[in-house]
Amino acid sequence: MQVVVYPDPVLRRGGKEVTEFTPDLKALADRMFAAMYQEGGVGLAAPQVAIELKLLVLNPEGNTKDRSGERVLCNPKITRKKGREWGEEGCLSFPGIHAEVERWQKITVTYRDLDGTEQSLDTEGWLARIIQHEMDHLDGVLFVDRLSPADRLRVRGTLAELESRASR
Ligand SMILES: [Zn+2]
């Protein structure tokens, strides 16, 4: 399973609601975790592996030594949010780019787990940031869309490099 890199248009398509909570969905989540760990990420959204579903996986530890923080969120929605905070982010679909993004500091997110059971999670800080970053992917929104004007200028060259690599 390959992680899709900018400017692949699939990244702009986002995902559709998950309606079937089958063993296939579990197998897909497992493959996404494997791809995420292989690339050294802390989160991965289905559109990043060219699958148009509202499904994301994450582990704030970012490695297989501690898998206790693994979560799979289907059809996530933020139902409460509080405070704004800037913090550094990267993205497996944007190799070589790290930049500050403003996110909600505290969120409540409701979602379905792999069994289709509705779950609710109150969280803040790093985990809240990962969830918001990955949720953006489900809507075709990318973190570079949210950069400050100064950072947008700073990363322009790297974006152009990714674009020219894709057209080669
Ligand atoms: Zn990302």
Q: What is the CATH number of the domain that holds 105?
A: 3.90.45.10
What contacts 135, CB < 8 A, 6 or more positions away?
Answer: 45, 56, 76, 78, 109
Q: Is residue 141 part of a domain?
A: yes
CA–CA dist 76, 118 (Å, integer): 10
Q: Is residue 3 part of a domain?
A: no
The reported pLDDT for the residue numbered 167 is: 79
> Which structure tokens are listed for 21?
């909570």
Going from the Cα of 5 to the center of ligand 1, the distance in angstroms, rounded, reads: 10
168 pLDDT tier (thresholds 50, 70, 90)? confident
Q: Annotated catalytic residue: which of 20, 134, 161, 163?
A: 134
Instruction: Please indicate, yes or no, whether the overall pTM of this predicted structure exceeds 0.95.
Output: yes
Question: What domain range includes position 92?
Answer: 9-167
* Paired residues of 43 in beta bridges: 58
Closest CA to 60 of 114, 135, 127, 152: 127
Q: Is residue 90 part of a domain?
A: yes
Going from the Cα of 20 to the center of ligand 1, the distance in angstroms, rounded, reads: 24
The answer to whether residue 63 scores a pLDDT higher than 90 is: no
Percent of the chain surpassing pLDDT 70 = 100
Going from the Cα of 12 to the center of ligand 1, the distance in angstroms, rounded, reads: 12
Q: Is residue 79 part of a domain?
A: yes
Going from the Cα of 91 to the center of ligand 1, the distance in angstroms, rounded, reads: 4
Contact 146, 168 (CB under 8 A): no
Going from the Cα of 46 to the center of ligand 1, the distance in angstroms, rounded, reads: 10
Q: What is the mean pLDDT of residues 103-127?
A: 98
Percent of the chain surpassing pLDDT 90 = 95
Q: Is residue 153 part of a domain?
A: yes
Is 20 part of the annotated catalytic residue set?
no
CB atoms near residue 15 (< 10 Å): 20
CA–CA dist 83, 140 (Å, integer): 24
Q: How many domains does the chain have?
A: 1
In the chain, how many H helices and how many E strands? 4, 5
CA–CA dist 80, 64 (Å, integer): 31
